[in-house]
């Protein structure tokens, strides 16, 4: 299977600046429903670290790189990206995963 046709599974790590936790959560929640309607999206679920409020994990899966690229190009994602510098303490970290078990 070539890389271009592999399902892409990732965890995005987003740490809010102090005082921006609620704004970051609202911004991320606004991405969930429209992203789930994208034809290439397989999974998109937001979590918050229980012991470190304001640190969010977005579990994502897209059917291929083209679907992920299309997601990044969506107006609602671009809007979020434009606000990210004001909300994030550190740049968004995207951790790609390979599935080992079923």
Q: What was the pLDDT predicted at 1?
A: 42
| In-domain check, residue 10 | yes
Q: What was the pLDDT predicted at 2?
A: 45
Query: Tens digit of pLDDT for each residue in 28-45?
Result: 999 999 999 999 999 999
Domain count, the chain: 1
In this structure, are residues 61 and 43 in contact, taking their beta carbons and an 8 Å threshold?
yes
Across the chain, what does the average pLDDT equal?
94
| In-domain check, residue 91 | yes
| In-domain check, residue 57 | yes
Residue 95 neighbours by CB distance under 10 Å: 10
Q: What was the pLDDT predicted at 32?
A: 98
| In-domain check, residue 50 | yes
- Report the CATH number that the domain containing residue 63 is assigned in CATH: 3.30.70.100
| 56 to 16, 26, 35: CA distances (angstroms) | 8, 11, 17
Which positions of the chain have pLDDT values less than 50? 1-4
| In-domain check, residue 102 | no
| In-domain check, residue 1 | no
Q: Provide the token pair at 13.
A: 């790590």
SS3 per-residue string spanning the chain: CCHHHCCEEEEEEEEECCCCHHHHHHHHHHHHHHHHCCCCEEEEEEEECCCCCCEEEEEEEECCHHHHHHHHHCHHHHHHHHHHHHHECCCCEEEEECCCCC
- The domain in which residue 41 lies consists of 6-97
Q: What was the pLDDT predicted at 5?
A: 59
pTM of the model: 0.91
Q: What was the pLDDT predicted at 102?
A: 87
Phi and psi torsions of 50, nearest 5°: -60, -40
């Amino acid at each position: 299977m070539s890389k271009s046709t592999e399902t892409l599974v990732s965890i995005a790590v987003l740490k809010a600046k102090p005082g921006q936790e609620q704004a970051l959560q609202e911004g991320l929640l606004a991405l969930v429903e429209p992203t789930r309607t994208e034809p290439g999206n397989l999974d998109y679920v937001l979590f918050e670290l229980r012991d470190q409020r304001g640190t969010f994990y977005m579990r994502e899966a897209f059917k291929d790189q083209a679907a992920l690229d299309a997601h990044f190009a969506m107006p609602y994602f671009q809007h979020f990206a434009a606000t990210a510098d004001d909300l994030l303490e550190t740049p968004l970290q995207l951790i790609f995963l390979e599935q080992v078990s079923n």
